[in-house]
Amino acid sequence: MPDDALAMDPSAFRAADRLGGIELSEIVRISERAKVLRDQGRDVVALSTGEPDFPTPDFVIEAAHQAALAGETRYTATVGTPALREAIAQEHGRQMAEVIVSTGAKQVLANALMATLNPGDEVILPTPFWTSYADMVVVAGGRPVTVPCPMEAGFKLSPAALEAAITPKTRWLMLNSPSNPSGAIYSAREIAALAEVLERYPQVWVISDEIYAHLSFSPFVSFTAAAPALAPRTLIVSGVSKAWAMTGWRIGWGIGPAPLIKAMVSLQGQSTSGACSVAQAAALAALNGPRDLLRDRCAIFQTRRDKVVAGLNALPGIACPVPDGAFYVFPSCKDALRKGESDGDFCARLLDETDVAVVPGRAFGLSGHFRLSFAYSDDALDAGLARLGDYLNKEA
Ligand code: PMP
């Protein structure tokens, strides 16, 4: 049917205007392309997804099983179970009234933006940023204001760049430390310097996404620990997905001032209600369980990081800084691009010609780079590096 015929048909599907600005995530697109190639029988090495290859710990699964058998299978309070909120409050040294549990850290972020943004409100995104941030802001009616933070600046926002981006319409600054995709961690001193600027702009609130806090290879400090004066206008976001390898359980949390949490609970109450009861019991077991497991896994990630950084830096045209946390590297591929080629073209070429899937920097707002996840087995990483090496060395 031609487009104009569709437009005339009153039963034709029309998405809401608020979805107009968002597109299928580039990460999803690459994963789908990798799947098509796999279905054609090709041996694709996907290094494109941010999901630990470890299993959820057995004691967590056992706790979920016992909770289900004990009848924890009903709706919970919208804000989360008292036991889990208490454990989260203790973990972060805060009050229960400051805690909301949601269906993954992603829903915490979406709740916060939907509950606070009015049309035209601005959200500052130090760039590169996790792909979903900008689209979430758009869906909530806001305007993403991207601030380039290049590799030479350690992929971090400077106080001067922050101040230059603030307008009377700014509602939020969204920080992510350790960062997806760059792995950058803000030190206490860097946070304090940003806070000094923010103290002059009381209308600007801070979302500090600390979902990778337990995956730090250098000292990590929470935003409110380094800038306690800003706690009354900061939302800390975290969860069990990454550190405990619990991506599918969908439990994340937000910690912030009680009125903000209350607004987020109202919204959640009319959309998804409380997060899954059994998954909340599992997250409680994770928080109360032994922590040596986190340290052991972090050490494994650090070993992989070192191998991947060294491997990539040995390749012609690739320059890979050392990430301080999370499980990604975000190297520059500027010197490996062919004339007129974008990072998207480059990644498509790598996938087609080497069967290695990585994500172009433009998906994170910063072109000329790609993101490679090292949340994969050593075998996959070795195979991926070897293929990239063979291919790029031939090209050079
Ligand atoms: N924040 C960042 C920076 C992430 O990378 C991710 C997951 N890729 C999330 C939030 C979402 O976490 P969850 O799976 O708990 O929703």
Tens of pLDDT, residue by residue over 116-139, are 999 999 999 999 999 999 999 999
Range 179-188 average pLDDT: 98
Name the residue with the closest Cα to ligand 1, atom 12.
Answer: 105
Indicate the SS3 state at residue 185.
Answer: coil
d(CA 146, CA 332): 19
Which of 283-287, 291-295, 368-372 is predicted with the least confidence, judged by mean pLDDT?
Answer: 291-295
> Residue 82: which CATH number?
3.40.640.10
Same domain, 299 and 284: no
What the block records as the tokens of 132 is: 């979903």
My answer on whether 124 and 269 are in the same domain is yes
In this structure, what DSSP letter does residue 325 have?
Answer: B
Q: How far apart are CA 9 and CA 180, in angstroms?
A: 43
pLDDT confidence band for 14 (50 / 70 / 90): confident
Cβ neighbourhood burial of 307 (10 Å; 0-12, 13-18, 19+):
middle
Residue type, 208: S
Are 269 and 303 within one domain? Answer: no
Specify the CATH number for the domain of residue 389.
3.90.1150.10
pLDDT surpassing 70 at residue 2:
no
Tell me which long-range contacts 375-383 makes (C-beta under 8 A, separation of at least 24): 375/49, 375/50, 375/51, 375/52, 375/53, 375/301, 375/327, 376/46, 376/47, 376/53, 377/53, 378/304, 378/307, 380/45, 380/46, 380/47, 381/47, 381/304, 381/307, 381/308, 381/311, 383/45
Please check whether residues 108 and 227 belong to one and the same domain. yes
What pLDDT digit, counting tens, does each position of 73-122 carry? 999 999 999 999 999 999 999 999 999 999 999 999 999 999 999 999 99
Boundary-marking domain end, from 270, 288, 306? 288
Question: Which of 331, 323, 271, 333 shows the shortest CA–CA distance to 302?
Answer: 323
Number of domains in the chain: 2
Domain assignment present for residue 64? The answer is no
Tell me if 129 is assigned to some domain. Answer: yes
**Segment 352-377, tens digit of pLDDT:** 999 999 999 999 999 999 999 999 99
> Are 48 and 85 in a shared domain?
no
Looking at the structure, tell me whether residues 157 and 127 fall in a common domain.
yes
The residue whose CA is least distant from atom 7 of ligand 1 is 50
Residue 224 lies inside a defined structural domain of this protein:
yes
Give one DSSP letter per residue of 331-394, joined into a string: -B-GGGPPTT--HHHHHHHHHHHH-EE-EEGGGGT--SBEEEE--S-HHHHHHHHHHHHHHHHH
Question: Given 288, 315, 330, which residue is the final one in a domain?
Answer: 288
Label residue 10 by pLDDT band (50, 70, 90).
confident
Q: Is residue 272 within 8 Å of 244, Cβ to Cβ? A: no
Do 206 and 314 lie in a common domain? no
pLDDT at 396: 79
Domain membership of residue 133 as a residue range: 72-288
* 28: confidence class by pLDDT, cuts 50, 70, 90: confident
Whole-number Å distance, alpha carbon 211 to ligand 1 midpoint, is 7
Q: Which protein residues touch ligand 1 with a CB less than 6 Å away?
A: 50, 104-106, 130, 176, 180, 209, 211, 239, 241, 247, 252
Q: 258 and 383, same structural domain? A: no
Same domain, 384 and 333: yes
